């Protein structure tokens, strides 16, 4: 998500004068896939953040990558008696189709691609990052040099972690700031009518220390009889909950119980939609802290989950990635034009992101 959008924004703002190469370890048929289990996400993004892309680089999304509209998010207390509305319309995305569309858009803006390449380390020279080295699918070495590199490789980034030059970028994330999280894409028969458990019009978040300790659980509609349902927990929170309740649950068993105990969802089965194939069920991780205090150094910038951008409250990371990529794309295009990709030359990304969304 964040890499494809940043690349498109650099292409747009440089009027295609900057040569941009996107490296993805996936094949061209499966761009943006997070893990072998798919494009694991709750899939919800606000209309406002999607609109920020159109406003900045004139790309407008529609069906099929925007799968289902919603009017907002209701957040419920454990007894479902207290609720708070996060106002604002949004969409449930098809995360498998969205990157395919984004690859097409980026190509139209002159962006080049190399698929099947795993980036393993940053290449440094004279105090600047000047490229990446890695391997292709057959294990053959790969190296590309550039004026600068953007790390958009998600929550398991090794590039940020082993950044070889001095910088203010925090390399490590505290384990307590990483949530284990998972979800399923399900079709179901309507059970009890209860809009605190399912409504096609709103996303629902359930805060409950027994169901999702130190995290949250969600029921996000993808149609009248389709749902993205899952939850996230912190490891210490799960340990505390298990010891309090004398149980030995893990992430998957908590998700199974959460689905089973939803009275509105009956006969749940994995989505049969061909556009969900290979993406029906999976667990992954998401950082839940403030974003990295500094996101640039000489010849290098970080973005998205690699920069710890998801909101701590609900792990929403797509909105932040959309805002940040529009800002970073513009800053990179300008820095390359000015021939100054130093930390100072890229600093506007830090300040503009903070003023626009990061605060």
Residues found near ligand FAD in the complex (CB under 6 A): 1-3, 23-26, 32-34, 40-45, 118-119, 152-154, 158, 181-183, 230, 284, 286, 304-306, 310, 315-319, 321
Q: Is the CB of 73 or the CB of 127 nearer to ligand FAD?
A: 73
Q: Is the CB of 17 or the CB of 145 nearer to ligand FAD?
A: 145
Distance in Å, CB of 338 to ligand FAD, minimum: 26
Distance in Å, CB of 164 to ligand FAD, minimum: 15
Q: Is the CB of 321 or the CB of 333 nearer to ligand FAD?
A: 321
Q: Is the CB of 135 or the CB of 240 nearer to ligand FAD?
A: 135
Q: Which has the closest alpha carbon to 228: 254, 209, 255?
A: 255
Distance in Å, CB of 60 to ligand FAD, minimum: 19
Distance in Å, CB of 215 to ligand FAD, minimum: 10
Report whether 185 contacts 279 (CB < 8 A): yes
Q: Is the CB of 245 or the CB of 321 nearer to ligand FAD?
A: 321
Distance in Å, CB of 161 to ligand FAD, minimum: 11
Report whether 16 contacts 339 (CB < 8 A): no
Cα 263 to Cα 256: distance, rounded to the nearest angstrom = 14
Q: Which has the closest alpha carbon to 41: 97, 89, 1, 95?
A: 95
Q: Is the CB of 110 or the CB of 310 nearer to ligand FAD?
A: 310
Q: Is the CB of 221 or the CB of 317 nearer to ligand FAD?
A: 317
As a three-state string, the secondary structure of 204-258 is EEECCCCCCCCCEEEEEEEECCEEEEEEEEEHHHHHHHHHHHCCCCCHHHHHHHH
Residue 220 vs residues 19, 143, 228, 229, 316: alpha-carbon distances, Å: 39, 41, 5, 6, 13
Residue ranges with strand state E in 15-174: 21-24, 44-46, 66-76, 83-93, 112-115, 117-125, 128-136, 141-145, 149-151
Distance in Å, CB of 221 to ligand FAD, minimum: 12
Residue 98 vs residues 6, 117, 156: alpha-carbon distances, Å: 15, 20, 21
Q: Is the CB of 319 or the CB of 329 nearer to ligand FAD?
A: 319
Handedness of CA 26, 29, 32, 35 (dihedral sign): negative
Distance in Å, CB of 34 to ligand FAD, minimum: 4
Q: Is the CB of 152 or the CB of 298 nearer to ligand FAD?
A: 152
Distance in Å, CB of 50 to ligand FAD, minimum: 11
Beta strands 128-136; 203-206: pairing state: unpaired
What stretch of H or E contains 299?
none
What stretch of H or E contains 287?
strand 281-287
Q: Is 125 helix (H, G, I), strand (E, B) or coil?
A: strand
Whether omega before 280 lies within 30 degrees of 0, making that bond cis, reads no
84-102 core/surface letters (b: 16 or more CB in 10 A; e: else): eebeeebbbbbbbbbbbbb
Q: Is the CB of 14 or the CB of 181 nearer to ligand FAD?
A: 181
Distance in Å, CB of 237 to ligand FAD, minimum: 16
Distance in Å, CB of 314 to ligand FAD, minimum: 7
């Amino acid at each position: 998500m964040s890499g494809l959008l940043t690349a498109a924004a650099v292409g747009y703002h440089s009027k295609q004068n900057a040569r941009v190469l996107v490296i993805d370890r996936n094949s061209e048929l499966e761009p943006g896939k997070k893990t072998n289990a798919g494009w694991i996400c709750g899939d919800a993004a606000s209309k406002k953040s999607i609109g920020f892309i159109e406003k900045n680089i004139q790309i407008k999304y529609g069906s099929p990558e925007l799968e289902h509209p919603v009017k907002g998010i209701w957040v419920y207390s454990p007894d479902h008696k207290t609720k708070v509305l996060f106002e604002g319309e949004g969409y449930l995305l098809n995360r498998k189709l969205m990157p395919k569309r984004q690859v097409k858009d980026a190509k139209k803006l002159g962006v080049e691609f190399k698929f099947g390449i795993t980036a393993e380390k940053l290449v440094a020279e004279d105090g600047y990052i000047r490229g990446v080295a890695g391997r292709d699918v057959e294990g053959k070495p790969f190296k590309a040099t550039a004026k600068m590199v953007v790390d958009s490789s998600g929550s398991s980034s090794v590039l940020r972690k082993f950044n070889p030059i001095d910088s203010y970028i925090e390399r490590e994330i505290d384990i307590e700031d990483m949530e284990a999280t998972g979800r399923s894409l399900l079709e179901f028969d309507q059970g009890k009518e209860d809009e605190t458990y399912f409504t096609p019009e709103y996303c629902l978040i359930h805060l409950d220390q027994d169901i999702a300790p130190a995290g949250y659980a969600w029921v996000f509609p993808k149609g009248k009889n389709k749902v993205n349902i899952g939850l996230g927990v912190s490891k210490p929170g799960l340990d505390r909950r298990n010891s309090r309740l004398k149980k030995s649950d893990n992430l998957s068993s908590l998700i199974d119980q959460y689905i089973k105990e939803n009275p509105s969802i009956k006969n749940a089965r994995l989505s049969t939609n061909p556009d969900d194939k290979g993406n029906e069920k999976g667990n992954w991780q998401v950082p839940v802290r403030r974003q990295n205090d500094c996101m640039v150094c000489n010849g290098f910038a970080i973005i998205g989950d690699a920069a710890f951008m998801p909101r701590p409250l609900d792990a929403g990371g797509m909105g932040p990635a959309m805002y940040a990529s529009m800002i970073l794309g513009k800053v990179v295009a300008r820095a390359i034009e000015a021939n100054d990709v130093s930390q100072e030359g890229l600093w506007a990304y830090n300040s503009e992101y903070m003023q626009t969304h990061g605060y």
